[in-house]
Structure 1
Amino acid sequence: MDIVQAGDRTGILLVNTGTPAEPRPRAVRKYLARFLMDPRIAPMNRLGWWFVLHLFILPKRGRASAEKYGKIWTEEGSPFTVAHDKLARGLDAQLADEGHDAVVRCAMSYSAPFVDDVVRELKDAGCTRLVVLPLYPQSAHSTTGSVSDSVERALKKARWDAPCDFVDNYHDDPTYVRAIAASIKHAGFDPDADDKVLFSFHSIPLVDIEAGDTYELQTGASSLQIAGELGIERNRWTIGYQCRFDKGREWLSPFTRDVLARWAEADVGRVFFVCPNFAVDCLETLYDIEHELKPYYFDQVRKAGREPREDDFAYVPCLDKSRAHVKVLADVLRPHVEGGR
């Protein structure tokens, strides 16, 4: 970590995955092509994957995903973009109130504003050092690793030889743990009742874990600490993994759908569904949970011979653009902004 000198201006770069420019098939295909051609995402050699992706996957998935995006789009645009803009402004104001000379910007790995452009903007704003925070509390080769790749390329392209701190993860940060636990309680969770918590994380290919990815260890540690903050025993919570991309590879499990089916059969009581590794609500939370996973759980309850009640399943929103999220990111970043002073 670099010691901050008087007169230094710190550029803070928050990076997430991205979103299509509009909820139309062409825009969605363009976004997905960038995303799925990332070498850290592609499941086979680049040339072969390009043909499979563009000839078979994107035509179908572009239309299907566009319909889904259309259901979550707002008058302001993509809820993902809106939330990041407000989050960056809130964090910028928070650090300014603390007396830090910092410029906060958001960038996306696969959509505008692109990392290249925002790195150049921070350089032109007079920043003398850079702190990069991927908005993935639990790091993985396919997420945080991809951000590291893009930042390295962007710095070379901008010919900016600035000191750079890269925050790999914040899965066990105390402020983050408390914020997630508080969001679960705010959603109505009762630690003294029979309510259950399902921590659902994005899955990753097992080959990444075999290559040394510590993502699974981090998801387990986060869940354990959040449950501890809630004061609940191990039989009150479990972990599931969602969002498998393909069936040609083995993916980290147990899968969230399988957990929901098992809990529906066992009649476990109210289920509180939380996604601790999604910093901001996106398609996988705003659409998939409300329109796919919740109906699936209710169908499984009916198959078990019971009629579900609406409050049997409660989704706990991401920290998103909340004050609590600003506080989490400020606490994570503060040592890097202050340079350890």
Structure 2
Amino acid sequence: MRETGFLPNEHPPVATQKTGVLLVNLGTPDAPEKKAVKRYLKQFLSDKRVVEIPSIIWQPILRGIILNTRPAKSAEAYSLVWTEDGSPLAFYTRRQAEKLAVRITGESDDVVVDWAMRYGNPSISSRLNEMKAAGCDRILIAPLYPQYSGATTASVHDAVFDAIAAMRWQPAIRLLPAYHDDPAYIDALATSLERDIAALDFEPDAIVASFHGMPQRTLELGDPYHCHCQKTARLLSEKMGRELVVAFQSRFGRAKWLGPATDAVLESLPGQGKKNIAIFAPAFSSDCLETREELAIRGKEQFESSGGEKFAYLPCLNDSEIGMDMLEHLIRRELSGWI
């Protein structure tokens, strides 16, 4: 009999008593290239939480039209924001996990902090399996979406439970709730924005809060995302003592989307005498294609071509000390009783 170090019929010991924290963001292709973008879009747009159209209708459209036309255009957009560290979203999410690990695991070796993407790499399932192998019998899943939506937060939940469904021994799971109205989040946004606005060489005539868009139908079906966005904007406006112009970006397809649309707002502001503006994206925890390319590049072009004069894109919280203080506060609260 081959020696294993265990008696016959005896199972190897299982490492336990560690706590895991998994930060999860939306996702990114592996490279700013057509093939990688096509692979990413196929996974993203095949999620029934994202596109709520029957597969028998949607899949022929996706595979026959969209995946043959959109990847090249999207790859070009990604190339404009790609860095030597990869996509901004992957870079900042990784940095958030690294900095959070220093803040939390510095006190104990019994906490493991990692990160994953809902679409693309590293996958949620691979990270959960690694955490379990490392002895994590309790794992906090932290979707980095301040405002809840079925297309984002719930999709992460789906992927998590699909992954642990394949496990014979499942870890205990906690899920970070939406934090759209959490005082720590509102305070962090206000502090970051006030600092960035003070550093500008002009005083904005308008400050635009551009949230990621969702089809109007999601609101009608009971998704709380639109309400969460409006509450974030209201609380932030009250905190800063400034009026905010709320808009929704990233429309896709012919269906009616939440409005007003960011591009339409940017084109209309100069005609209203608001020729110097600042814009930020409070639905994003990290800068990404939708902020760096859609807002900072295309948004600026749209605004200036409509008569605008000064335009400033204000970055997300990313891995700033302000953002990390907020994230640590949220994570420690959810880990209460575990560490």
TM-score with structure 2 setting the length: 0.90
1:219 aligned residue: 229
1:276 aligned residue: 282
Indicate conservation of the 8 Å contact 2:137/2:170, yes or no. Answer: no
Instruction: State the structure with more CA Rg.
Output: 2
2:247 aligned residue: 240
**In 2, distance between residues paired with 1:168 and 1:179?**
17
**In 2, distance between residues paired with 1:188 and 1:68?**
27
State the shift of 1:129 in Å: 0.6
Cα RMSD for the two superposed structures: 2.1
Pair 1:178–1:156, CA change in 2 (3 A): same
Provide Cα deviations, 1:172-226, integer angstroms capped at 9, x if missing partner. 1222111111221222259x96642111101111221122111111111111111
2:206 aligned residue: 196
**In 2, distance between residues paired with 1:237 and 1:165?**
34
**In 2, distance between residues paired with 1:193 and 1:322?**
24
Q: How much identity, in percent, do the aligned residues show?
A: 34
Indicate conservation of the 8 Å contact 2:146/2:285, yes or no. Answer: yes
SS across alignment from 1:338: coil
Indicate conservation of the 8 Å contact 2:34/2:71, yes or no. Answer: yes
Pair 1:325-2:323 in alignment? yes
2:32 aligned residue: 23
State the shift of 1:53 in Å: 0.8
**In 1, distance between residues paired with 2:233 and 2:17?**
38
Provide Cα deviations, 1:293-323, integer angstroms capped at 9, x if missing partner. 111011112xxxxxx43xx211110111222
1:1-341 correspondence to structure 2 within 5 Å: 8-97=17-106, 99=108, 101-189=110-198, 195-232=205-242, 236-247=243-254, 249-301=255-307, 308-309=308-309, 312-339=310-337
Provide Cα deviations, 1:47-98, integer angstroms capped at 9, x if missing partner. 3322111111112110001111111111222222121111101001111245
Q: Which runs of 5+ in 1 are unaligned?
A: 1-6, 302-307
**In 1, distance between residues paired with 2:258 and 2:97?**
32
**Counterpart AA for 1:282:** C
Q: Which has the higher contact order (CA 8 A, sep 6+)?
A: 1
Indicate conservation of the 8 Å contact 1:133/1:166, yes or no. Answer: yes
**Counterpart AA for 2:250:** C
**In 2, distance between residues paired with 1:145 and 1:116?**
16
**In 2, distance between residues paired with 1:84 and 1:265?**
38
Pair 1:83–1:194, CA change in 2 (3 A): closer
**In 1, distance between residues paired with 2:109 and 2:336?**
8
SS across alignment from 2:328: helix
State the shift of 1:256 in Å: 1.0
2:4 aligned residue: none
Pair 1:331–1:100, CA change in 2 (3 A): farther
State the shift of 1:340 in Å: 8.3
**In 2, distance between residues paired with 1:72 and 1:118?**
26
Provide Cα deviations, 1:115-174, integer angstroms capped at 9, x if missing partner. 111111111111121111101000101000100100010111233422211113111122
TM-score with structure 1 setting the length: 0.89
Q: Which runs of 5+ in 2 are unaligned?
A: 1-15
1:305 aligned residue: none
**In 2, distance between residues paired with 1:112 and 1:193?**
41
Moved more, 273-282 or 262-271: 262-271
Pair 1:298–1:194, CA change in 2 (3 A): closer
Pair 1:8–1:251, CA change in 2 (3 A): same
**Counterpart AA for 1:59:** N
**Counterpart AA for 1:113:** P
**Counterpart AA for 1:146:** S
Q: How many residues align?
A: 323
Provide Cα deviations, 1:258-296, integer angstroms capped at 9, x if missing partner. 222232111125311010011111111111112211110
SS across alignment from 1:165: strand
Pair 1:129–1:196, CA change in 2 (3 A): same
**In 1, distance between residues paired with 2:53 and 2:265?**
30
SS across alignment from 1:52: helix
